[in-house]
Chains A and B, each alone.
Chain A
């Protein structure tokens, strides 16, 4: 028994206490794993969270619905647009508001582009953690192009804050379609390159095949969603299961594998990138001119341009933005859970509204939060090197973990 950073650790025979993280090259973000190892074999592993605590849920009680969108950027900071859209969809369901067609198509487009960005980082990072550094830079080039598009659309690269309740902040810029099509083409070739480099690579297969196997029962009992669930044979995808935006009009498959190991999770992500590319190609054809904000002045902000030009819009804008109980969104006294398919799984918002312009409570169901707990159990009995192969295939984002 010895003391380690004020924690008393029970030391069993012939084991060494190994502390991985929160500052460690493989712990993307600020994850920490405490392990008992005997040689290279992990006897016990326990993950610890809380090194990136942000307090978003508490902060949400002091923000209006539109202000909370800026906080959702920081949830899963690799796909902020998905979080923005997820929250906007939740609030609109609460209000019974239906945004116009163009807004829905744009949201679908950006959600899928954002999914591509998130997945491309994850598949690159898995190979990088296994020692093949080059793949992450290939995918980073694609991600960089996507971020350039996000910058053109939303004005920022990372903290996009793009959606508003009942609409979006700005319309798409000129030349958006041609830029996206060019990216899709290069993205397709990158995905093919990754398949070519790793699907038949003996070392890569040895490292990922059979490591970190999650069974179907575990998926259900731990509440794991997203690519991780689909890699274990649970074809749970909210875009199919409970379609939102325009997903019911689009044709796409839900790639599913039954192995449940790191390799299956890698393959699911690559296949999903293909599906996302298909979805974007279809959605681009549905893009028609029209209004981008809902014409519901009690709930949705008016267009920025009309706010400057006509008096009614300006009054509505003023009434929406001003703090105080007589201003802001008019919400019913109710509570509602709404979820969307984020790149890592089901991103849910449970909103409890007390009729004022601020939510009484927002509870976020982060995908990483529910995907992470099984990690310690998978590590027990595996080799130390499996740590990176398993963790990287989870794609745990600390921002989503500690809210």
Chain B
């Protein structure tokens, strides 16, 4: 029976379908947990208790919220462009899942049929980093279209803010990634992850490329529209920004999109800067004694732990810092971060050429 299943799994088509379902499943089950985590953590920061009624420790709160939202009135504001209005939430949500499918989440050594070297990723691409950048920036369309299609001032302002912000910070992120790609010499996400393994100490890019990490992190905050870069939403100014006119499940899609984006962005940072699923090799030797699926689970656990730590950091920042003003945001992006990113590329190049650092 088990051997039959394993034979079936070795069929690439079946495997691809299963992988896709797993990737969607991971994101879709992560999102309610993130919402719960955000609410619990914010409660901790604010000397509150947080959700504790639905399920143990309020764990089922997000499910209850989703059920409530599904039963809400299906509301369209007057004079909206229905097609775009309907498509916007989906467009905001999909990039999160698609870019997560590029990220290697673990390694099952010896299970070559899972992927090259047993790397667990839905799509193992040589230019994974590039595709990830391309897909994740698509989310801004959802926000901009949602703001435009609502036919109201507040959402429109939110939509404009989001497109301006995403364009500016996309450049910063792209430039940060250039420096990283120069250092790594590859765009393959799993190779970037394994390069950072080291023997005793981690050779994480976080330590080798601190400036790149900082730039990427700031851009990631802007990309995910989280405080202090949550201008498109700006509850106190624009009521809800781009999703002011959205109700019920369509509003929920925007929220899902935000958290899916957060989850994916944290996965990307974990892969690029914290070594993905790896820990220093000296500590990982014992994993080799286990069968492949146990090793897979352990590496997946390490990956998730890193991602959750990053998510915690994102939430910590959100509930601590105030929000930028629009012109200050642009000023920071164009006059500080972009020159810094250019300098970073130069520094990396000089270090590679003359410094003898980053020798591959």
Contact = CB atoms under 8 A, between A and B. Distances in A.
Interface string B83-122: 0000000000000000000000000000000000000000
A133 B326 contact: no
B151 to A, nearest CB: 13
Interface string B316-334: 0001111111111000000
B228 A131 contact: yes
Interface residues of A, number: 32
A134 B320 contact: yes
Contact of A385 (B46, B160, B228, B237): B237
Contact of A131 (B45, B47, B323): B323
A388 interface: yes
A186 to B, nearest CB: 11
B157 A203 contact: no
A52 interface: no
Contact of B326 (A25, A40, A128, A141): A40
A78 to B, nearest CB: 18
A278 B359 CA distance: 64
Contacts of A206: 324-325, 328
B236 interface: yes
Contact of B237 (A26, A127, A204): A26
Contacts of B279: none
Interface in A369-403: 383-388
Given A132-B322, A134-B320, A137-B47, A383 B327 contact: yes
Given A131-B323, A206-B324, A388 B153 contact: no
Contacts of B319: 132-134
A130 B239 contact: no
A141 B47 contact: yes
SS class of chain B's interface: helix, strand, loop or mixed? Answer: loop
Interface residues of B, number: 27
A207 B47 contact: no
Contacts of B326: 40, 383-385
B47 A203 contact: no
Nearest to A141: B47
B321 A201 contact: yes
B240 to A, nearest CB: 9
Contact of A25 (B48, B227, B239, B327): B239
B236 A129 contact: yes
A385 B239 contact: no
A333 interface: no
Nearest to A136: B46
B235 interface: yes
B230 A24 contact: no
A25 B325 contact: no
Interface in B144-194: 153, 157, 160
A204 B328 CA distance: 11
Contact of B322 (A16, A201, A386, A387): A201
Given A26-B237, A388-B237, A132 B320 contact: yes
Contacts of B228: 131, 203
A258 to B, nearest CB: 24
Contacts of B320: 132, 134, 197
B222 interface: no
A322 interface: no
Given A133-B319, A134-B46, A141-B47, A26 B324 contact: no
B298 interface: no
Contacts, number: 82
A18 interface: yes
Nearest to B240: A25
Nearest to A132: B322
Contact of B327 (A16, A40, A132, A201): A40
Interface in B43-102: 45-48
B322 A203 contact: yes
Contacts of A18: 153
B46 A131 contact: no
Given A40-B327, A138-B46, A138-B47, A388 B236 contact: yes
Given A132-B321, A203-B321, A25 B235 contact: yes
B237 A387 contact: yes
Contacts of B269: none
Contacts of B324: 203, 206-207
Contacts of A384: 157, 237, 326
Contacts of A127: 322
Contacts of B31: none
A24 B323 contact: no
B268 interface: no
A128 B227 CA distance: 12
Contacts of A204: 322
B40 to A, nearest CB: 14
Contacts of A19: 153
A383 B321 CA distance: 20
B320 to A, nearest CB: 7
Nearest to A129: B236
Interface string A11-48: 00000111100001110000000000001100000000
B21 to A, nearest CB: 37
A128 B236 contact: yes
29 contacts: A18-B153, A24-B239, A25-B235, A26-B236, A39-B160, A40-B326, A128-B236, A131-B322, A132-B319, A132-B320, A132-B323, A133-B42, A134-B46, A134-B319, A134-B320, A137-B46, A137-B48, A138-B47, A203-B228, A203-B321, A203-B322, A204-B322, A206-B328, A383-B327, A384-B157, A384-B237, A385-B231, A385-B326, A388-B237
Given A18-B153, A128-B236, A386-B325, 15 more contacts: A40-B157, A127-B322, A129-B236, A131-B322, A132-B319, A132-B322, A137-B46, A138-B47, A201-B322, A203-B324, A206-B328, A207-B323, A383-B326, A385-B323, A388-B236
Closest CB pairs A-B (n = 9): A131-B323, A137-B46, A130-B322, A132-B322, A385-B325, A131-B322, A129-B236, A26-B236, A40-B326
